[in-house]
Amino acid sequence: MFTAVGISCILEQVIILEKQNFITTGHINRVILTIATPLMINNLIRTLYNLTDGLYVAQLSAEDFAATAFIWPLNFLFISLGMGISVGATALVAQYFGAGKYRDAKRYAGNAMVLTYFFGFVLSVLGYFLAPLFVEMMGAEGTFLAKSVAYLKINFIGLFFDFCYFGYQSLLNAQGRTRTITMISAASSIANVILDPFFIFATIPFVGLTGLNWGIEGAGWATVIAKVLLLALAIRAVRKESDIQIYLRHVKIDKEVMKEILKVAWPSAFGYGGAALGFTVLNGLIQSYGTSVLAAYSMVNRISDLLTQPQMGIG
């Protein structure tokens, strides 16, 4: 006789096989659209959030908005490694998951999470203490330097949560659960938009409530809180929806697996990092013409990003 647990396990395997069959045998256009559409929506939500966030900070001054734009590529340069690990882990976990090798998929997913937690912590600490040096090397001076450093330090605190999220994101992506990722990303972005005015302004626009009046630093802290929420929702999604469950305390570290993940990750990490480095240098050159010029350039970039989202989702 089957026990309740036994029946549950059988049903779980049937669900896994159904998803696997759709991805491997379904019509290619339908599969691509099914997976890409949530990603396009996710990218669109994030772009709209960045635009809204910029509009909030721009109400403080052009210099404040320029400071947030100035340090963005530098922060993205550090995030590139985490994004690369996510790409590598997604590819390898999806490969084993699609082949029905669930133990191997779990082993790779677990080691990928260990990598994201480790590098997230190390880079967050290094970035926080080296932030003044980085911003000075980019040519910032005076109050613009102080604002950029303050905002960058807070961003580096949030970097740890970015990396941790990438581990869970890769596990969900590998199983084709892009809709779930879109939903939790949307929730995090909405929370950030709601928190921003409370942390930034003394009096919240439109509602007249009293805010914390932390200025540009408030924008940074609102983003950190939103990232913590994003990570919490990703962990919850994995616990409730993932066919592969990962608990860090049970992960057996495998150096060969980690090497393979990093081997696949490096091309993406270098690609993202190269672009970020280019924008870092470019921002340094643009700010030499004044913070108002940098602010205008950055706002136009945020608007033009809206046009690239369909391609990025399919890619």
Could you read off the pLDDT of 173-212 as tens digits, one per residue?
Answer: 999 888 898 899 889 989 999 999 999 999 998 888 999 9
Is residue 12, in this structure, part of any structural domain at all? no
Q: Which residues touch 37 (CB under 8 Å, ≥6 apart)?
A: 178, 313
Is residue 302, in this structure, part of any structural domain at all? yes
**Which pLDDT tens digit goes with each residue over 265-296?**
999 999 999 999 999 999 999 999 999 999 99
299 or 15: which leads in pLDDT: 299
Is residue 18, in this structure, part of any structural domain at all? no
Q: Over 50: is that where the pLDDT of 43 sits? A: yes
Q: Which domain holds residue 155?
A: 34-314
Q: Over 50: is that where the pLDDT of 18 sits? A: no
Q: Are 101 and 247 in contact (CB under 8 A)?
A: no
Q: Residue 2 — very low, low, confident or very high, per pLDDT cuts 50/70/90?
A: very low
Instruction: Report the candidate in 282, 222, 231 with the shortest Cα–Cα distance to residue 76.
Output: 282
Q: How many domains does the chain have?
A: 1
Is residue 184, in this structure, part of any structural domain at all? yes
Is residue 26, in this structure, part of any structural domain at all? no
Is residue 75, in this structure, part of any structural domain at all? yes
Q: DSSP string of 238-256?
A: HHHH-SS---GGG----HH
Q: Residue 1 — very low, low, confident or very high, per pLDDT cuts 50/70/90?
A: very low
Q: Over 70: is that where the pLDDT of 39 sits? A: no
